[in-house]
């Protein structure tokens, strides 16, 4: 018998999963061409050729010992190359000793939370949030504390943030570029978050970590830049992966990089290595560590995502949808055409459009469109969006 808790979670299957199942049913009924599935955040583009070529090269090299167990933090040369890449826009540079290779960002966040949380410790997250955060925090006996962002710009409400920090707060988890809003936190916002955390650390006499979950860091538009989190707060920790930037979501490769200003860096890194080992990851995939370490300048073709964003943003704005223009990632997060976002998503389904309700991200009244999809599908979907809007006008 599975545990009561897991059973309960299965009963409340995530919205993204539910829409996936709905999509399969609709495709059977109407055919692939006539279903417009915007529900999944699965990178659409293949990895750059240089990355798959590098993979062949690494495999063919037949290096003795390349497939054995290693330091739980990963290969030293790989960690150094990752640190060098992070150092490009940093004030206090990192060394290999500040980097631990992980099984994607998801693995990284779990390793990190396992390392820092005592039972009952609070982790602040900003809604709308990546739904898995709630599970990750609970996995390690933490308590999620959810703060709603301002719907005009989806930036954190700093006053509310300050008030929400308690003697139990151990971390704040920020995600920029954001899933589901595409917002990039500005230099100004990060500075203020850092100042508030510094003040609260002094007040409560303990570290509060700023965890920056950055798997979309390379996916930015119009020349926007994602600020380096380590320049804003002493106890910052980056979690990143190559799932989106290199289209390697199924390969499970990423890293954690702590701020070099940590007073207890060595102990902290030992904690991370322990958590990586005892959570059963042991170390990040060996071959993929080698491949990405020589692909750090590469990226999937972002202009392809930009074309999709521009087309959908323009068309949906013309149709009257209210939304913030995403600066990064590959999602739009418009306001639903009725207050009940779940009811709205169900109505959209009648036009064969699959969306995810904002409730799935802790932000009712909105919905998410993932545009990491076929451009032809977006074009075919536009008349269906028109019909959906007309339906609401006549309702």
Ligand X SMILES: Cc1ncc(COP(=O)(O)O)c(C=O)c1O
Stretch that binds ligand X, among 11-19, 100-108, 191-199, 268-276 (CB under 6 A): 100-108
Stretch that binds ligand X, among 69-77, 79-87, 99-107, 203-211 (CB under 6 A): 99-107
Residue 136 contacts residue 110 (beta carbons within 8 Å): yes
Verify binding: residue 254, ligand X, rule CB under 6 A: yes
Beta strands in the chain (DSSP E): 36-37, 99-102, 122-127, 143-148, 169-175, 209-213, 236-241, 254-258, 331-332, 353-354, 356-357, 367-370
Q: Compute CA 381 distance to the chain's CA centroid, rounded to the nearest angstrom.
A: 26
Which of 376, 226, 247 has its CA nearest to residue 307?
A: 376
Q: What is the DSSP string of 115-181?
A: HHPPTT-EEEEEES--THHHHHHHHTT-EEEEEEPPTTT----HHHHHHH--TTEEEEEEESS-TTT
Torsion of CA 332, 333, 338, 340, to 10 degrees: 130
Among 47, 74, 104, 326, binds ligand X (CB under 6 A): 104
Shortest CB 328 distance to ligand X, Å: 11
- Is 176 or 260 the residue whose CB approaches ligand X more closely? 176
Site string for ligand X, 149-188 (x = CB under 6 A): --------------------------x---x---------
Shortest CB 311 distance to ligand X, Å: 22
Shortest CB 31 distance to ligand X, Å: 28
- Is 227 or 247 the residue whose CB approaches ligand X more closely? 247
Encode 104-142: b = buried (16+ Cβ within 10 Å), e = exposed. bbbbbbbbbbbbbbeeebbbbbbebbbbebbebbeebeb
Residues 29-68, interacting with ligand X (CB under 6 A): 41
Verify binding: residue 251, ligand X, rule CB under 6 A: no
Verify binding: residue 215, ligand X, rule CB under 6 A: yes
Max alpha carbon distance in the chain (Å)?
A: 69
- Is 243 or 359 the residue whose CB approaches ligand X more closely? 243
Residue 56 has which token pair?
A: 């062949």
Verify binding: residue 360, ligand X, rule CB under 6 A: no
Taking the alpha carbons of 331, 223, 183, 171 in that order, is the dihedral positive or negative?
positive
- Is 41 or 142 the residue whose CB approaches ligand X more closely? 41
Among 44, 130, 136, 262, binds ligand X (CB under 6 A): 130
Pairing of strands 356-357, 367-370: antiparallel
Verify binding: residue 347, ligand X, rule CB under 6 A: no
Residue 330 contacts residue 219 (beta carbons within 8 Å): yes
Can you tell me the distance from the alpha carbon of 58 to that of 295, in angstroms, rounded to the nearest whole number?
Answer: 12
Stretch that binds ligand X, among 103-111, 289-297, 348-356, 369-377 (CB under 6 A): 103-111
- Is 105 or 300 the residue whose CB approaches ligand X more closely? 105
Residue 320 has which token pair?
A: 């009257």
Among 243, 293, 295, 381, binds ligand X (CB under 6 A): 243
Stretch that binds ligand X, among 74-82, 102-110, 157-165, 256-264 (CB under 6 A): 102-110
- Is 243 or 260 the residue whose CB approaches ligand X more closely? 243
Shortest CB 129 distance to ligand X, Å: 8
Verify binding: residue 241, ligand X, rule CB under 6 A: yes
Can you tell me the distance from the alpha carbon of 326 to that of 370, in angstroms, rounded to the nearest whole number?
Answer: 12
Can you tell me the distance from the alpha carbon of 309 to that of 221, in angstroms, rounded to the nearest whole number?
Answer: 9
Shortest CB 349 distance to ligand X, Å: 22
Verify binding: residue 106, ligand X, rule CB under 6 A: yes
Interface with ligand X: number of residues (CB under 6 A): 13
Residues that bind ligand X (CB under 6 A): 41, 104-106, 130, 175, 179, 213, 215, 241, 243, 249, 254
């Amino acid at each position: 018998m599975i545990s009561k808790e897991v059973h309960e979670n299965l009963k409340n299957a995530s919205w993204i999963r539910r829409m996936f199942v709905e999509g399969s049913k609709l495709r059977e009924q109407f055919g692939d061409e006539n279903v417009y599935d915007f529900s999944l955040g699965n990178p659409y583009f293949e990895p750059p050729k240089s990355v798959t070529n590098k993979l062949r090269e690494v495999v063919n090299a037949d290096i003795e010992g390349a497939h054995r167990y290693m330091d739980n933090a990963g290969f030293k040369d790989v960690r150094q190359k990752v640190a060098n890449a992070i150092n490009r826009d940093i004030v206090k540079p990192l060394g290999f000793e500040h980097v631990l290779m992980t099984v994607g960002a998801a693995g990284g966040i779990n390793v990190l939370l396992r390392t820092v949380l005592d039972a009952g410790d609070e982790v602040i997250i900003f809604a709308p949030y990546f739904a898995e955060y709630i599970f990750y925090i609970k996995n390690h006996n933490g308590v999620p504390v959810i703060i709603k962002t301002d719907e005009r710009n989806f930036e954190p409400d700093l006053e509310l943030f300050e008030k929400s920090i308690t003697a139990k707060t151990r971390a704040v988890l920020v995600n920029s570029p954001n899933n589901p809003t595409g917002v990039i936190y500005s230099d100004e916002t990060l500075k203020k978050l850092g100042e508030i955390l510094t003040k609260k650390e002094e007040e409560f006499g303990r570290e509060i970590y700023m965890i920056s979950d950055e798997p979309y860091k390379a996916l930015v538009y119009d020349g926007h830049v994602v600020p380096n989190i380590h320049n804003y707060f002493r106890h910052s920790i980056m979690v990143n992966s190559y799932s989106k930037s290199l289209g390697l979501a199924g390969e499970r490769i990423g890293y954690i990089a702590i701020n070099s200003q940590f007073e207890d860096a060595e102990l902290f890194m030992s904690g991370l290595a322990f958590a990586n080992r005892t959570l059963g990851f042991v170390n990040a995939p060996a071959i993929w560590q080698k491949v990405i370490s020589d692909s750090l300048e590469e990226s999937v073709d972002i202009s392809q995502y930009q074309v999709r964003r521009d087309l959908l943003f323009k068309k949906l704005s013309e149709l009257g949808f209210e939304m913030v223009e995403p600066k990064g990632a590959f999602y739009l997060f418009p306001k639903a055409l009725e207050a009940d976002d779940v009811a709205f998503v169900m109505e959209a389904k009648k036009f064969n459009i699959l969306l995810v309700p904002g409730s799935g991200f802790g932000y009712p009244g909105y919905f998410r469109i993932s545009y990491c999809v076929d451009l032809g599908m977006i074009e075919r979907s536009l008349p269906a969006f028109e019909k959906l809007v007309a339906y609401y006008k006549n309702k």
